[in-house]
Amino acid sequence: MLAAHGFGGLTLRAVAAELGATTGLLTHYFPAKRDLVAYALDLLTERTASRPRRAAGDGLAALRAALLDILPLTAEATDSNRIWVSSWDTALADPALSDDHARKYEQSRVRLGELVSAAQRLGELPAGDPARIAAGAQSFVLGLVVQALFNPTAFPPRHQVELLDDYLASLASPTSSGGDHPASA
Amino acid sequence: MLAAHGFGGLTLRAVAAELGATTGLLTHYFPAKRDLVAYALDLLTERTASRPRRAAGDGLAALRAALLDILPLTAEATDSNRIWVSSWDTALADPALSDDHARKYEQSRVRLGELVSAAQRLGELPAGDPARIAAGAQSFVLGLVVQALFNPTAFPPRHQVELLDDYLASLASPTSSGGDHPASA
DNA sequence: ACATAACCGTAACGCTTGTTGTGTGAATGG
DNA sequence: CCATTCACACAACAAGCGTTACGGTTATGT
């Protein structure tokens, strides 16, 4: 339902109907709609977090697996991402929800940063601030999600994986500006 | 208005009020709200397209400039991106608008692809399918936009530029898997 | 067993929404 | 100079929204 109509078309009655219940139940548990929305987002987060993850090796392979887990490669993941993207409208209009999103993405970056560190320790990635590399990787995947959602024909799963692998390959190759910090102001 | 309340909170009366007019005017020009929304998106596209672009050199510098023009580095660009992102909810729920978005991003990719080609011709970028590289770059920037919108503190303009430069640097360095297709399973 | 509270369906409220009519003044054109 | 169309305000409409009030049912504690 959410995947089809987005967060904008989310109504208490629709949720209640899908639940086989009425608005009375919802208002009983959620004082206001905002709370229902917040809960829906939390539930989405949790469900996304507890999704069966693909087997991850060590180092770079683990990072790749984590990033692949985000992409809309399956119908289920597509729905999930669709809901996620559609929540951005609501979230951007509400500072509290906005902070929530910021926190979630930051948490995800931290997790990716650890994987980056591990890959660096294994020598699979060149030196460089793990947090920065993680932020870059998250950006890449996030943007790829958006493009894939709008144009699934141009971004079939295979192509998404190719693009991600391109990105990871370019990460793996050392750059001239590897880990130096040019005394930025 | 749109930047603050998003596309979800877009009402005919609010638009009319901001226009100093009434709903009568709007319905006179737009048969239905869908048309108003579509027009708003076209107008946003046009305004974004005709935004004063930063001076672009040749090759890689031009690509960098084009990507920088997308990022929310200024208050105006932030508003623009905010509206853009918030439109995704509405767009994903409407196939026609969805196609419109897909077309716009494809067009943008084509434009980026030409810049990539030019940079390759100058030897500033290694060989490889320009369309693929452009798709990657667009993904990266798009995702960076989203993250910056939700967490402007963690992604100040300087940091955004740094991340983009990291990405471009990694693009510029040749990878072992230049354009080959390693028969992925 | 009985009082109390939690649970939840039903119905209504007030409000906002998109949309549709109607009326009026200005422009247009023959 | 008048008829007709256009441009727009204004008001009203039905529908849908979140929210609230209330009634009956079920659990819970004493």
Asked whether A18 and A2 are in contact (CB, 8 A), the reply is: no
Least confident of A133-137, B32-36, B56-60: B56-60
**CA–C1' distance A30–D3 (Å)?**
62
Question: If you measure CA to C1', which residue is closest to nucleotide C6?
Answer: A28
Closest CA to A128 of A140, A112, A116: A116
Distance from CA of B37 to the nearest CA of A (A): 14
**CA–C1' distance B149–C21 (Å)?**
44
Partner-chain contact A105 B150, CB within 8 Å: yes
Half-sphere exposure of residue A50: CA atoms within 13 angstroms, side-chain side: 5
pTM exceeds cut of 0.85: yes
CA dist A162 to A96, A168, B113, Å?
Answer: 37, 10, 17
Taking the C1' atom of every nucleotide in all shown strands and the CA of A34, the nearest one is: D18
Asked whether B121 and B169 are in contact (CB, 8 A), the reply is: no
Which residues of A fall within a CB distance of 8 Å from B184?
A: 158, 161-162, 165
Question: If you measure CA to C1', which residue is closest to nucleotide D18?
Answer: A33
A86 pLDDT more than 50: yes
Which whole number is the average pLDDT over A139-146? 98
**CA–C1' distance A17–C3 (Å)?**
34
Which whole number is the average pLDDT over B50-56? 84
- Picking from A82, A86, A106, the nearest residue to B151 by CB comes out as A106
**CA A69 from chain center: how many Å?**
9
Which residues of B fall within a CB distance of 8 Å from A102?
A: 150-151, 154
Cα(B89)–Cα(B62) distance, integer angstroms? 32
The tens digit of pLDDT for each residue in B129-184 reads 999 999 999 999 999 999 999 999 999 999 999 999 999 999 998 775 444 444 44
Each residue of B38-64: b (16+ CB within 10 Å) or e? bebbeebeeebeeeeeeeeeebbbbbb
Closest CA to B167 of B146, B142, B140, B143: B140
Q: Which residues lie below 8 Å from residue A110, measured CB to CB, with a gap of 6+? A: A131, A134
Note the residue count of chain A. Answer: 185
List the nucleotides on chain D closer than 7 A to a protein CB: 7-12, 16-22
Closest CA to B110 of B92, B133, B93: B133
